[in-house]
Amino acid sequence: MSNLIEKKGMSSFSEYLDSIKRNNKDEITMLINKLTTNYTYFYREENHFKYLRDVILPHEEKNNKTKVLNIWSAGCSSGEEPYTLAMVLDDYFKFMKDKWKIQIYATDISENVLSKARDGIYSVESIKNLPESYKKRYFTKTKDGKYQVLPEIKKQITFKVFNLMDPVVARNKYDVIFCRNVMIYFNAETKINIVNKFYDATKAGGYLMIGHAETIQRGKSKYLYVNPAIYKKE
């Protein structure tokens, strides 16, 4: 931070904070990009993706008459989570894809990581946990040895800047919301407020997936506990 303050020609951290308090949008964006942690990789906490594939999608295939699926990756970081979701969905529906309208909405507070997500280029290390079939089917190899997500997977995802502190406006409620390893940075009151906003944005019968290091106080939310880090709206 000291390098940033010096580069801005400011003499102290308090002077920099004054600039933030004046709601200087550029300064706020830069601070967010400096402070947010974005460690992630493909197929992280894979039990969520297995539950999606083995439980949620078969149920939707049998009971969803509209053939519409809306999924939100909240705090999507550099895109590994929503791209994994798109691959799981593509793999599951295969030849039925044309019969379904699937939209993955991916948000983060940091424009820096969203820019990387939109590029969809990743290291060998980042994709190492993916099934080999996914690596072959959904990526092309770049000249410098990295892996780029195919356009057909990219088009399933809409990336946007969004602050979880803001009101959640969901014209179409979500079948599944992923918000994993994000709420660990919030205090208890803020976390339950966010969870309750998620609940209101979830369809009846829909799910919330959180990180394994996170918990939801059962008396403070209407979500029903299903499995570790998996909750359902009845």
Q: Which residue has the higher pLDDT, 12 or 223?
A: 223
Mean pLDDT of the chain: 88
- pLDDT bucket at 217, cuts 50 / 70 / 90: confident
pLDDT digits (tens, 9 = 90+) for 162-204: 999 999 988 899 999 999 999 988 889 999 999 999 999 999 9
**Per-residue pLDDT, 32:** 52
The mean-pLDDT minimum among 34-38, 138-142, 152-156, 176-180 falls in: 34-38
- pLDDT bucket at 95, cuts 50 / 70 / 90: confident
**Per-residue pLDDT, 171:** 85
Structure tokens at 79: 């895109």
112 and 192 co-located in one domain: yes
Structure tokens at 189: 């009151």
Domain assignment present for residue 218? The answer is yes
- pLDDT bucket at 27, cuts 50 / 70 / 90: low
Q: pTM of the entire structure?
A: 0.84
How many angstroms separate the CA atoms of 185 and 32, rounded?
Answer: 13
Q: Which pairing describes strands 68-74 and 101-108: parallel, antiparallel, or unpaired?
A: parallel
For residue 201, the enclosing domain spans: 47-232
Q: Which residue has the higher pLDDT, 19 or 158?
A: 158
Domain assignment present for residue 42? The answer is no
Residue that the structure tokens 């010096």 belong to: 6
22 and 73 co-located in one domain: no
- pLDDT bucket at 156, cuts 50 / 70 / 90: very high
User: Average pLDDT for residues 106-123, to the nearest whole number?
Assistant: 95
User: Average pLDDT for residues 20-49, to the nearest whole number?
Assistant: 65
Q: Is the pLDDT score of 121 beyond 70?
A: yes
**Per-residue pLDDT, 97:** 83
- pLDDT bucket at 20, cuts 50 / 70 / 90: low
163 and 222 co-located in one domain: yes
Distance of CA 223 to CAs 146, 149, 197, 202, 231, Å?
Answer: 40, 34, 11, 10, 6
User: Average pLDDT for residues 30-43, to the nearest whole number?
Assistant: 60
Domain assignment present for residue 226? The answer is yes
How many angstroms separate the CA atoms of 139 and 212, rounded?
Answer: 28
pLDDT digits (tens, 9 = 90+) for 46-87: 999 999 999 999 999 999 999 999 999 999 999 999 999 999
Q: Which pairing describes strands 147-149 and 121-122: parallel, antiparallel, or unpaired?
A: antiparallel
69 and 96 co-located in one domain: yes
pLDDT digits (tens, 9 = 90+) for 202-215: 999 999 999 998 98
**Per-residue pLDDT, 22:** 65
126 and 175 co-located in one domain: yes
The contacts of residue 51 (CB under 8 Å, 6+ apart) are 209, 227, 230
How many angstroms separate the CA atoms of 117 and 115, rounded?
Answer: 5
Distance of CA 47 to CAs 42, 165, 177, Å?
Answer: 13, 28, 15
128 and 208 co-located in one domain: yes
**Per-residue pLDDT, 152:** 95
Domain assignment present for residue 29? The answer is yes
Q: Which pairing describes strands 147-149 and 101-108: parallel, antiparallel, or unpaired?
A: unpaired
31 and 51 co-located in one domain: no
